[in-house]
Amino acid sequence: MSKKNRQSSSQYGSAQVAGISHQAEYRIIKFDLIKVAALNAVYLVVILALYYTNRSSGYLDKWFAKILYF
């Protein structure tokens, strides 16, 4: 195998490895993005549930007043 032939095959191999690592990184990023979006949706549901249940009874106001000594 000539020197020129070895260089082109090594460049192809490194490009192929870089493509695989990019795919792995994008897979991790995609999983993290889905996880963050799901957690944000859960937090939104919890906050809305607390807001609407507190509206009628005011239990959170009483709880915070007791804890923060208002």
Distance CA 65, CA 56 (A): 17
Task: Examine the pLDDT at 10 and tell me if it is beyond 70.
Answer: no
Distance CA 39, CA 34 (A): 9
18-54 pLDDT, tens digit per residue, is 667 888 899 999 999 999 999 999 999 999 999 999 9
- From the list 20, 27, 58, the residue with the least C-alpha distance to 66 is 58
Q: What pTM did the predictor assign?
A: 0.59
